[in-house]
Structure 1
Amino acid sequence: MADNRVYVAADVASVADARALVADVWPHVAGLKLGLEFFCAHGPAGIAAVMDGCPLPLFLDLKLHDIPNTVAGAVASLAPLAPAILTVHAAGGAAMLAAARAAAPPATRVVAVTVLTSLDDDDLLSAGVADGSAAQAQRLARLTRDAGLDGIVCSPHEVAAVQALWPAGLFVVPGVRPAGSAVGDQKRVMTPREARDAGAGVLVIGRPITAAPDKAAAAAAIAVSLA
């Protein structure tokens, strides 16, 4: 479908399971997200095995966060996987963000995580952020924009405000749940259509698809909701 922005989060245990997921859902989604758990279990070779013959672009969600030189080296080492999107943490600071962008292939869009969707304002307050998730997301979006990155990861509840200050940014939005789906460990959620209409460029959806008895039907239903 023309307006399908869904990247399915492959929260699965094995390379075979990830490839089976792709076979089920690829006509109904726009991309595949593989994250830290999968990468730690299977490494670059496992990612390459999943992507061999895969018709979907790769979103490599590692949320890199270290000193600039280390992050730059890590990003450069991932270049053979040719990720379409790669994540770092905005909290790493301007120098780290700029180093990540400089080390990535031109075709890879580097986006920075602002506030995890598993956190709410009370969680942020306990970590010393007194003015809440909306203010923190905007603060880190400005930092990321000024460092030359391509966009951010933020909750659907923050995306409209950050798009207003960064119209050209790519906004990757997790915490997306179809109506009636279990929220799980997410605290700031919207439906796919609500998040898309708020300004999300990429909708990250995992368990509502991967835990469904019929994964293809679940992905197709989400695509229809965005039509």
Structure 2
Amino acid sequence: MLLLAMDTATPAVTVALHDGETVVAQSSQVDARRHGELLLPAVDRVLHEAGLKLDAVTGLVVGVGPGPYTGLRVGLVTAAAFASALGVPVHGLCTLDGLAYAAGTEGLEGPFAVATDARRKEVYWARYADARTRVTEPSVDRPVDIAEQLAGLPVVGAGARLYPGAFPDAREPEHQSAAALAALAAERLAAGDEDGFLEPLPMYLRRPDAQVPKNYKVVTPQ
């Protein structure tokens, strides 16, 4: 097994290789505006570090969000293109699940929540019983509207850092890691848990920021 994992649903452009036992190589850069520029060089970097070619990959793992429209699509389209070229499967995972799994490896025990920046003064979030068990569907809300629901819980992710008034017990990690996403996928594949994966389609939870104008301005002579 050699899994190539990637996630661009958050400001972290993150890529990792996992051989079914351990992370072979990984790369993460935080830049909310350069997903398209940074992702392919990151793939090249981890393959070079591992001394492998792309055709050695036996499966793709990709974070499906939730996340903002443009950045999220970069990772999904790239994973789909690689899978088509290589003839290997793509395994989708919720981005929040990757952060929860990473928090567990850092010693955080449940229950807790994960919150990432959704812009517009909102967060994408979900609750977890432990690092492997999500107990609510991912949602998007204003921090003030969910502060009471999450009172007393540690909250992992950049959303907690951005809104300390609503989430006073912020915990690491702040950013997504493809290494954690790959490790979670490898664990589920080894257990034969195909139901633990999602279709590699974008999880938006709301309409994109960019909208097609409803009324076009007339610029030609009548």
- TM-score, normalisation: structure 1: 0.25
Structure with more relative contact order (C-alpha pairs < 8 Å, separation 6 or more): 2
Name the one with the larger strand percent.
2
Larger Rg: 2
Tell me the TM-score normalised to structure 2 length: 0.25
